[in-house]
Amino acid sequence: MFSCRFLRITVCGLWAVAVTGPAAAGMLALTGATVFDGTGAEPVADSTLLIRDDRITAVGPAHRVAVPAGAQVLRVTGTWILPGLIDAHVHFFQSGGLYTRPDIIDLRQVRPYEEEIAALRARLPDTLARYTASGVTAVADLAGPDWVYDLRGLSAEQADAPRVLLSGPGLAPYLPRGLDGRHAPALVVRTPAQARAGVRRLAQRQPDVLKIWFVPRSGMDLDREFEWVQAAVDSAHAQGLRVAAHATQREIARRMVKAGVDILVHSIDDQPVDQALLERLRANHVLYIPTLGVTLRYAEVLGQQLRLTPFERARGDPGVIASLDDLVWLLPGRRRASGLPDNREARENLVRVHAAGVPVAAGSDAGNIGTLHGPALHRELELMVQAGLSPAEVLVTATRGGAEVMGRSGELGCLAPGCRADLVVLEDSPLADIRNTTRIGLVMVNGRIVHCDANRLPAGCPER
């Protein structure tokens, strides 16, 4: 539906253009586009970008980058080329549908949780394809049951899948009812010894990062809790693992940064970020993933006032989308909410964090109720612009920032010699309107075309 999923050939086999001579073997030239390279540098108009196999070999103004004789040429004059977008926070054990978080709204009497999990696991190949069809060529799954590790093999084998970073199960002080069964996304730990043992156990599966899923509750002794958090961070670092921590409150974020975590997940939304915390975030190069949209989507769905964008409806899973309206008949007497929550503090803290020079990565938290796998990142980018960042700054968070979360800076999220040939061709300028990131003409992963829309490319799609 979305891509050339079953094509297992490189881009060379997709173009009906003769290759002459070994110098041009395996080479593709994209010409005439404006290139935004993911670093925040000024875009370069009328560019030529050369790809050999799965790597970019040259990029620059057409008058400086010559197209080798016999190279395959795609003229994309008037379009924009970006690095493939990176969603730095998703959960593949959640579908995005109404029944996926029984700890938030328990509808297990309507749809058993085992049935929900089985269905979303069966759809994982399609879910992965929805990411690349949305221009997202890499994703970071930050906490899920042991079976999420299956995505490593699936991503490697499926031609139109994004690259994946996986944390697997995290560590948590407790698990809410509904997420505490055999599909639990975290191990419960209460002591430093349990934390160290948990890290050793999790490290056997070779996760890409360790996730600390820390949601405080009333009466919690934070001094005691952060003894095991410190032990977990130290143990993870000793194993060569970076640590991502769930932190939505300023005090929790402060303690996490003091403990040495590498990534803060979610916005600080209870108080303004103070100067001391900003300085420590910057000094420690802690990555900040704001996820502005997820709480708004919960409110929209549960308040029966969901307003999906046209792109979300086009790229999202139709079965998942249909489930989001089920409250109308499940709770027929329930009044619709009159308004949405104000996430002003989260938005203002994003601006403060970014202005302080703290590295920011865009993440959607896709999989949560109403936050759809694939297209949700684009709505997150729009919310970040509304918060006060420029479109160019936001694009950097979804390219260079995401690459830092993936641990692959200089290889992903960039358009420069040596970078992976993961890219998106857009019909119009995303700097003029960030919503233009949804006007996708072509998506490439590892030098392969995985999605193409002939209506958005000046020369149409190549012949298959």
Nearest to 148 by CA among 233, 221, 205: 205
Q: What pLDDT is stored for residue 114 in this prediction?
A: 96
Nearest-angstrom CA–CA distance, 91 and 95? 8
Architecture label for domain 85-406: Alpha-Beta Barrel (3.20)
Average pLDDT over residues 369-375: 98
Q: Does the structure show a pLDDT above 80 at 19?
A: no
Whether residue 141 has pLDDT greater than 50: yes
Sign, CA dihedral 139-145-150-154, equals negative
CA angle 391, 266, 227 (to 5 degrees): 145
pLDDT average, residue stretch 332-348: 79
**Contact call for residues 430 and 82 (beta carbons, < 8 A):** yes
pLDDT band, residue 107 (cuts 50/70/90): very high
- Mean pLDDT over residues 116-136, rounded? 97
Q: Is pLDDT above 50 for 448?
A: yes
- Global confidence as pTM: 0.93
User: Where residue 24 falls among pLDDT bands split at 50, 70, 90?
Assistant: low
Q: What is the pLDDT of residues 404-418, one digit of tens each?
A: 999 999 999 999 999
Nearest in space to 210 (alpha carbons), one of 182, 190, 176, 233: 233
pLDDT given at position 16: 28
DSSP lists the bridge partners of residue 262 as: none
pLDDT at 26 over 80: no
Alpha-carbon distance 83 to 422, whole Å?
6
pLDDT range class, residue 463, cuts 50, 70, 90: low
pLDDT at position 22 is 47
Region 157-171: mean pLDDT is 96
pLDDT in tens, 243-271: 999 999 999 999 999 999 999 999 999 99
Q: What is the pLDDT of residue 462?
A: 74
Strand 423-426, strand 440-445: pairing? antiparallel
Quick one: pLDDT band at residue 341, thresholds 50, 70, 90?
confident
What pLDDT was estimated at residue 132? 98
Domains of the chain, by residue range, sit at 11-83+414-456, 85-406
Q: Is 264 exposed, middle or buried (0-12, 13-18, 19+ CB in 10 A)?
A: buried
pLDDT(43) > 80:
yes
Chain mean pLDDT for the chain: 92
- pLDDT in the model for residue 20: 37
Q: How confident is the model at residue 1 (pLDDT cuts 50, 70, 90)?
A: very low
Contact 421, 51 (CB under 8 A): yes
Instruction: State yes or no: pLDDT of 17 exceeds 60.
Output: no
* 171-190 mean pLDDT: 93
List, for residues 290-311, the tens digit of each pLDDT value: 999 999 999 999 999 899 999 9
Q: Which of 291, 359, 304, 294 is nearest to 330 (CA)?
A: 304
pLDDT, position 338: 61
Give the pLDDT score at 461.
Answer: 86
Does domain 11-83+414-456 fall into CATH 2.60.40.2380?
no
3-state secondary structure string across the chain: CCCCCCCCCCHHHHCCCCCCCHHHCCEEEEEEEEECCCCCCCCEEEEEEEEECCEEEEEEECCCCCCCCCCEEEECCCCEEEECEEEEEECCCCCCCCCCCCCCCCCCCCCCHHHHHHHHHHCHHHHHHHHHHCCEEEEEECCCCHHHHHHHHHHHHCCCCCEEEECCCEEECCCCCCCCCCCCCEEECCCHHHHHHHHHHHHCCCCCEEEECCCCCCCCCHHHHHHHHHHHHHHHHHCCCEEEEECCCHHHHHHHHHHCCCEEECCCCCCCCCHHHHHHHHHCCCEEECCCHHHHHHHHHHCCCCCCCHHHHHHCCHHHHHHCCCHHHHCCCCCCCCCCCCCHHHHHHHHHHHHCCCCECCCCCECECCCCCCCHHHHHHHHHHHHCCCHHHHHHHCCHHHHHHHCCECCECCCCCCCECCEEEECCCCCCCHHHHHCEEEEEECCEEEEECHHHCCCCCCCC
Report pLDDT for 379. Answer: 97
